[in-house]
Amino acid sequence: MQIINRTSEKVLSKPDRISAIPYLHLVPSPLSMVIDVLSYKEKTRAEIALNSISDAILCTDMHGNIDYLNNAAEQLTGWSKDEAYGQPIRRIFNIVHGVTRKACQNPVEIVLQTNKPVELASDTVLIQRNGSEVAIQDSSSPIHNAEGKLTGVVIVFHDVSTSKAMAIKMAHLAQHDFLTNLPNRVLLNDRIGHAIEAARRNDTQIALLFLDLDNFKFINDSLGHDIGDQVLQQVTASLNASVRASDTVSRTGGDEFIILLADSKNGEDAALTAEKILETFTIPHKLANHQLQVTTSIGISVFPTDGLDAETLIKNADTAMYYAKEKGRNNFQFFKNAMNTRVIERQKLEVYLSIAQEENQLHLVYQPKFNLTTLQITGVEALIRWQHPEWGEINPERFLSVSEDSGLIIPIGRWVLREACEQAKRWKDSGLPKMTVAVNISAPEFMHKNFVEDVQATLLETGIDPDWIELEVTETVLMRDAEASAIILQQLKSMGLILVVDDFGTGYSSLSYLQQFPIDVLKIDHSFVNDIKAVADDGIIVSAIISMAHSLKLKVIAEGIETPEQLAFLVNRQCQEGQGYLFDRPLSSDQLNQLYFTDQQA
C-alpha cells in the first residue's frame, strides 16, 4: 500500500501511512474542512491516495465523532462516508471480542485519553452495519496539527478473516488426521495427560484401547488405497458410535486407532466398550462393488495399573494388541506384564524368520487324507514347519501370525506352493496314481494383487498338472470381500485347480455365496468334529454341513478325526474323505513314500 505526502509528493511505504495522515489535518477542524482549503489538485491527490489503499482508514475528531472514511472503510463497516459523518465512533466502529462476545473498549477512546498509538486485542470482531461479523486487525494513532496539538484519531484496520481461518485450519490439521478428521497422536497425548491429572485428583482410572485392523494392508494391496481409505472412514464412524462423547477416538497412523476412555471406573468399562466395538465390526462394509468383512484386534491398558504416563500406557496397550493377534485376531486382551517377554520373543521371531528361508530352516510335511469308506489314501495336505538351529521346532501357530503381520507370509507362501508343486510332480513322475496335494492359502496371499499370476507361473514352471493341486482358502477369508473372492476363484478354477473352502462353518458365508463360488470341496473345521462323541450323537452342525454339501454336489472332507466314534459317525453321514491323528500324523515325503507309496510307484 502507498500514500502520497502532499508537501513533497514522495511515495511513502506502508509503515509510513499513518504518519502521513496528520498532514491532512493542519488545523483542529474536520478533515473535510481541511481538504476544502487545499488546492483542487492536492485534494484530488489525497482522496485518490486514501481510496486506493486496501486497508480501511477511519478518522475522528476530538469528540470521537467520525469525520472521514475511505472506500475500504465504507465497505468493511457498511456505512457510507456521508451517513457516517458526525456519528459517534462506537456506532460506526462496533467491535466485540470474538471469543467472549463482550464489547471491546474502542481504541479511539484510549488514544484520546493517552495521546499514544494503540493496537486492538487479538480476536477482535467488527459488527458491520447489516449485523454481519468480520475479524479485523487494527492500529490507532493520534492526529496532531503542525503545532503538535492532538486534533483527532486515525484508525487503520483490515479484514483478517481469511488468514484467521487459515491459521485455525492449520492448527486443526496439526492436531488431527487429514483422512478421518480424528485427533492425531499429538492431540491424543495432550488429552491423555489431562485425563491422567483428573484421574489423580479424583482417584479414578482411565483406559486406552489400541486397535489394529486385521490384514488391512492387503485390502490396500489388492483393492487399492481409495477403497482402503473408504474403509478407514467407515471404521471411524463405527468407532465414534461405539464410545461416549467424553471419550476420544484417535487415528495414530495407517490402520491403527487408539481410544481414550477418560473416565473409566474399572477395567470392566473398557471390556464392555471393546465388546461393543467387536460387535460393530461384524457388519460388512459395502463399498462400490465390494462387500468387505473387516475385523480388529484390541489391546487394553489401564491407568494407573499399567502405566503412569501416556507413552507407557500406549506402549502397553500396543503390546496387548499384538497378544490379541496371537490369540487368533478379532478379540481383545488386557495388558499383563508377562506380555513384554512375549513381545521381545515376537521381535526375535520376526528377525529369525526373515532369514529362515534363506538358510533352509523351513520344510514341508504332509498329512495324508483318506477315503472314509475304503480307507485308501487319496491325497495329502502340505504343512509348513520351521526347525530353528537353537530353539528347535517352532509351532506354526507362533510363527505364522508373525509372518502375516510382518508381510513375510507372501514370500513364504510362494515358497510353500512351489515346494508342494515340485513334490507333487516328483510323485506323479514316479508313477503314483492320481492324488491331490492341498496347500493352505493365507488371507494376505489370497488378496495380493499378483496372487493369481504367481500361481499360474508356479504351475507352468514346475510342470505339475493343475488337478493334482488343491488350494485351501478359509471361509472367513473368502467372505471379507465376497465379490472379489468370486472373481479370484473363477480365475483359479479356469486353470484347472481344485478349490477347497477350509474351516467351513466358522465364518459368515451364506448359501447364495456358496453357489456363486466355483468351489469343489467343503472342509469341516476340526472344532465341529471334536464335538462328536458317539455314532448316535446328534452332530447337528456336521450333519447340516454334509447335507448342504451334498445338495450342492460338493465333496466333503472332515479334519481332526481322532476317535473311531467320530469316524463311524462321519461314515454314517456319508462324508467322503477325512484326515486326523486317528489315521496318521503329518509325515515327511520320505516317510509317506515308505508307508503308503512303495507298492504304487513304478
pLDDT digits (tens, 9 = 90+) for 349-372: 888 898 998 888 999 999 999 999
User: How does residue 447 score in pLDDT terms, banded at 50, 70 and 90?
Assistant: confident
Residue 261's pLDDT is 93
Give the residue with greater pLDDT, 263 vs 279.
279
**Strand 94-97 and strand 555-558: pairing?**
unpaired
Write the single-letter amino acid at 29: S
pLDDT bracket for residue 322 (50, 70, 90): confident
* Average pLDDT score, the chain: 86
What CA–CA distance (Å, rounded) separates 475 from 480? Answer: 9
Does the pLDDT of residue 536 top 70, yes or no?
Answer: no
Between residues 601 and 410, the one the model is more confident about: 410
* Residue 224 binned pLDDT confidence (cut-offs 50, 70, 90): confident
Query: In 327-450, which residue ranges form alpha helices assigned H by DSSP?
Result: 338-356, 396-406, 409-429, 443-447
Residue 600: pLDDT band with limits 50, 70, 90: low
Closest CA relative to residue 583, chosen from 368, 423, 347, 307: 368
Output the pLDDT for position 17. Answer: 41
pLDDT digits (tens, 9 = 90+) for 176-218: 888 999 999 999 999 999 999 999 998 889 999 999 998 887 7
Q: Is the pLDDT of residue 88 over 60?
A: yes
Least confident of 23-37, 120-134, 320-334: 23-37
pLDDT tens across 277-306, in order? 999 998 888 887 777 888 999 999 999 999
* For residue 271, pLDDT beyond 50: yes
Helices (H), 451-510: 451-462, 475-480, 482-494
Q: Residue 265's pLDDT is what?
A: 67
Average pLDDT in the 533-547 region? 78
For residue 58, is pLDDT > 80?
Answer: yes
**In terms of pLDDT, which residue wins out, 136 or 537?**
136
According to the model, what pLDDT value does residue 40 have? 55
CA–CA gap between residue 455 and residue 403 (Å, rounded):
20
At residue 105 the predicted structure's pLDDT band, cuts being 50, 70 and 90, is: confident
pLDDT tens readout for residues 372-427: 999 999 999 999 999 998 888 888 888 888 888 788 899 999 999 999 999 999 99
Share of the chain above pLDDT 90, in %: 51
Lowest mean pLDDT among 39-43, 90-94, 555-559: 39-43
Closest CA to 408 of 331, 354, 363: 354
The domains located in the chain, with CATH, are 3-160 (3.30.450.20), 176-336 (3.30.70.270), 348-597 (3.20.20.450)
Answer yes or no: is pLDDT of 13 > 60: no
178 or 576, which is more confident? 576
CA distance 26 to 34: 7
DSSP letter for 89, please.
H
Give the pLDDT confidence score for residue 12 in this predicted structure.
Answer: 38
Q: What is the pTM of this model?
A: 0.60
- For residue 455, give the nearest of 422, 497, 484 by alpha carbon: 497
CB atoms within 10 A of CB 431: 10
What is the CA 456 to chain-centroid distance, rounded? 33
